[in-house]
Structure formats: C-alpha cells, structure tokens
Amino acid sequence: MAAKERSSKERTNKERTNKERTNKAKERANKERANKNRERSGKERASKAREKAAKEKANKPKNPKTGQVCNSKAGPICHGYNLKCFYTTLSACKQACSRDKRCNLAEYKASSRHCCTSAIATKGKCPGRWAKAQGWIGYNVCPDTAHHERVSKEQTNKARERSGKERSNKARERSGKERSGKAERSNKHRVNVERSQKNRIKATSHRWLGHINGWDGHMNWHTNGRTYVSGLKSWHSNGREDRLFNPLVTDIGSTQYGRVLSGWVNNFDAYFAYTCPTNKAIVGMYSYHDNRKEDRRWRFYCAGFHGVGFRAGGWPGWQTSWDAYFALSCGHNPVVGISSYHDNRKEDRRFRIQCGSRYVRM
C-alpha cells in the first residue's frame, strides 16, 4: 500500500515537473518569438522612418541649378563674389534673391541688417575663398517662379502690344502710302536721293595753296576734280606795284562739271563785280599785268558740281586796304563772286569776295 502511494506520488511529481519544464520551454519560446517580433518591428519602423525621411527630403523643393534644399542654411559662403549688397530685413533679402534669376544664395548678417546676393551656392563653383564668415549666414534660395512667370507674361504682353502697335502702325503707314499714290512715292524718292547726296556737299579738305602768279607775271590757274576756291590772300609790292595771290581751296564729295572761263570782267583802272552763273563756283583765275597801267585785267573760271547747288550771298563792304596784305575766306563755302576797284595814285586795288552756301540739288 505504501509502495503504491509512493510510486503514485513520484509519477505525479514527475508529471508536474515535466509540465513545468514544458511550460517554461513554451514561455522561453514565446519570449524569444516576442523579442524577435519586437526587433523585427523596430527594424521595420526604423527602416520606414528612414524611407519616410528620405522621401520627405526628396520631396522638399530644391534649387534646380544647385540641387540645394530651398531655404536651408548653407554655412560657408563664397567670399568676394556678390551680385549686389544692400541693407534690409532677412525676408526681404531672400525675396530679392528669389526674384533675381542669377541669384542662388542670400547672405545675411543680422547684427547690421546687411544683405548680399550671390550666384554661387556651392564650393565647386566658388573661384575665391569658400568659408564661414563671422556673423554671416548663407541661405539657399529657390527662384520665385510665380514672380518670374508674371514678369515673363508682362514682358510677353508688352512685346505683343508693341508688335501689335508696330503692325497697326505699319498697316496705317502702308495704307497711307497707298492712298498718297504716285505723288508720295515721288516725294519719298526725292527725300531718299537727297539723303544719299548729303555727303556730296560735305567738306573733306581745306587748305591754302602757294602763289599762283609772279610779280608782274601772267596768271592762268584753276582746280580740278572735287575742289573749288574758298578764299584769297595777297601781298602788295610798292616797288613793283603788283600783288602775289594765294588761293584757299576746299574739297567736297562731288566732282566738277561744265568748267568755263569768263570773258574779261574789267578794263585797266576800272571797277568790276563778277558773279559766277547760277549754281556755279569760282574754281580758277586768269589775269595779266600791264607795267604802264600798273594794273591787272581779270577773267574767272567757274564750274558746277554734280548734285550740288550754290546760293549766292550778298556783297560785303570792302574787305582790304591799300598796299596791305589781306586774307579773305568763306570758310568751307565757295567763293561765287569777286569785286574790285583801282586807285591810280596808290596803283593798287581793293577787293571783296561774294560767298555762296552749298546745298544738295535733286
């Protein structure tokens, strides 16, 4: 009886021990599974958090030129290479940079409210020193696309308006020209020809020449090509009772045509006042001296110039004195007439020149 009770108790204890072992094993296994599950879920959460942070970073707006996140702090800045600097607030500084297509970095010093904008936002693009500056903070700035689009639209609209106005103006001009018909075309042609011929009256050279006669000597001198007479200077000799003459000549952009020599314009000791024919200028002189009369007779060469007209001015008062040196000039304009009278006691002549003005002839 006692043996049976003992064996029964032993069996009961063994079963209880086996159950406890089994339960402990199950608890350990459950704990291990729970720990593994926690580790796995922690890793998954960390991985998801990393993925989420990466996605958020990737989704943050970036500057398309530099790849930097908008409104992020840059730290170092490129020293000495700024677009412009001025005093303002931080927000206004960033806004000014965002509205400048060249700007990528807004550099701001809060203590002095000093703002500088820069196109350089990375070390690789900096040609100078890339470093932090005391009190300065760089902010990566993205372009204000809305502002740029608005400005672009305004510019496009203005260009359209301008082109529309130009087109309408051209259409009006065209219709006006068509209405004006042959008369307007003729006037336009005349204006164009006159414009093209303006260079013909432009003076290209202006100079005094040497003596064109000797004492008591014969004179037969004239210019060629593009040259006319613009003045005259002379010396008198009381011993020879004669004068030496030097002409002032001017070159223009046109050439001579129809040069003619006048007849004798005076007798000895006589007054004369000679003017070239219409639209002609003096281009030369012909003269001889008489030792008995101590005077000269005169003829003058006159010529026209292609596409150039000359308006004769009035006669001035007498411009020279007896027995005296003189130098008379019309500037760059031509001499178109010469007048003189003789004094038998002085055995000399006084002179005056008639100047002309040049214009384009159609």
Mean pLDDT of the chain: 86
Q: Which residues pair with 37 in a beta bridge?
A: none
pTM: 0.49
- Per residue in 232-252, pLDDT (tens digit) is 999 999 999 999 999 999 999
> Within 10 A of 238 (CB to CB), how many other CB atoms are there?
10
Kindly state whether residue 302 falls inside one of the protein's structural domains.
Answer: yes
Higher pLDDT: 51 or 262? It is 262
Does 294 have pLDDT greater than 70? yes
What CA–CA distance (Å, rounded) separates 100 from 144?
8
Statement to judge: residues 219 and 265 lie in one domain: yes
Note down the domain range covering 175: 146-198
Q: Which residues pair with 275 in a beta bridge?
A: 337
When mean pLDDT is compared across 11-15, 167-171, 268-272, 315-319, the lowest value belongs to 11-15
Number of independent structural domains in the chain: 3
Statement to judge: residues 228 and 194 lie in one domain: no
Kindly state whether residue 69 falls inside one of the protein's structural domains.
Answer: no
Kindly state whether residue 307 falls inside one of the protein's structural domains.
Answer: yes
pLDDT at residue 56 in the model = 62
pLDDT at residue 304 in the model = 94
Statement to judge: residues 260 and 118 lie in one domain: no
> Which residue blocks in 259-361 are alpha helix, DSSP H?
none
Kindly state whether residue 54 falls inside one of the protein's structural domains.
Answer: no
- Per residue in 147-160, pLDDT (tens digit) is 767 777 878 888 88
b/e string for 321-352 if b means 16 or more Cβ within 10 A? eeeeebebbbebbbbbbbbbebeeeebbbbbb
Statement to judge: residues 275 and 352 lie in one domain: yes
Does 57 have pLDDT greater than 80? no
Tokens of 181: 């018909």
